Amino acid sequence: MKLQGNVALVTGSGRGIGKATSIKYAENGADLILADIDAELVEKTAIEIRKIGRKCVTVNLDVGDIESIDNMIDVANREMGGIDILFNNAGVTKHINFFDITSEDWDRINTVNAKGAFFCMQKIAKVMVDQGRGGRIINTASIAGKGYRRASNAAYAASKGSVIAMTYICAGYLAEYDINVNAVCPGVVKTDMMAGILSGRSSDVGVNTEELESTVTSEIPLGRVNEAEDIANLVVFLSGPESRNITGQSYNVDGGMIMH
């Protein structure tokens, strides 16, 4: 129970990586603030957390809206007495060809993935500084931000490149407050988001999703795609005492697809 006594806030906790990590946090003793734009899904995650025996509150969050972020923090302070760990995970994407990306696509993806990630980080870091007991921030980036050529779209790659850069800069700013800031960069992960990308690409190129998944898998040196739990394991490690001297890093979890 290495996270006993810690309160972890997870954005995008209704499904996929966010849900898997929330459960892993609870299994390691943390209490949870679960935030997601889908109230029904996040309540389902909360039920699983409570079965483990951990305290858990849910909050509706649109990370692209600053007032929504402020409300989430108010709930965290009021209901849980603060925040020790932020898993800054909420994100969106879809398959879009390079020449088909619109201004609206760019704004939506970057508002959630870049702007939302920054202001969650900034505002929750302020809570941690005021608490005076340090903290951990882990951002979900992507190997798309490091040049993975099968990224869902260029706007998504740009947004995740921003997350990686912000991780480096914020780690430098927050080190004096004993706040560690790192990023995880997933490769291919079996989630609803990945299923949607494969479906969109399938329609675009006229190849069924099974063939596309097989092609992608064949490009992974270890020969297997990630389960959400593969990402969760690293996030929990970066949240715990064993990683106390790790900050300003971006870690790939991709089976060897990107070697930097």
Which CATH number belongs to the domain containing residue 56 in this structure? Answer: 3.40.50.720
Residue 178 is assigned to a structural domain of this protein: yes
Residue of 241 and 213 predicted with greater confidence: 241
Residue 149 is assigned to a structural domain of this protein: yes
Token digits for 106? 């760019």
Instruction: For residue 20, give the nearest of 219, 214, 242, 186 by alpha carbon.
Output: 186
Catalytic residue set: 156, 160
Number of domains in the chain: 1
Token digits for 121? 């980080």
Residue 212 is assigned to a structural domain of this protein: no
- Structural domain for 127, as ranges: 7-187+228-250
Banded pLDDT at 36 (limits 50, 70, 90) = very high
Is pLDDT above 90 for 34?
A: yes
Residue 41 is assigned to a structural domain of this protein: yes
Residue 31 is assigned to a structural domain of this protein: yes
Residue 50 is assigned to a structural domain of this protein: yes
R_g over Cα of the chain:
18
Residue 202 is assigned to a structural domain of this protein: no
pTM assigned to the model: 0.94
Distance of alpha carbon 165 from alpha carbon 183, whole angstroms:
10
Is pLDDT above 80 for 195?
A: no
Residue 156 is assigned to a structural domain of this protein: yes
Q: How far is CA 76 from CA 8, 9, 13, 22, in A?
A: 10, 8, 15, 15
Mean pLDDT of 118-141: 98
**Residue 209: per-residue pLDDT:** 76
pLDDT tens digit sequence for 2-24: 999 999 999 999 999 999 999 99
Is pLDDT above 90 for 59?
A: yes
Distance of alpha carbon 125 from alpha carbon 245, whole angstroms:
18
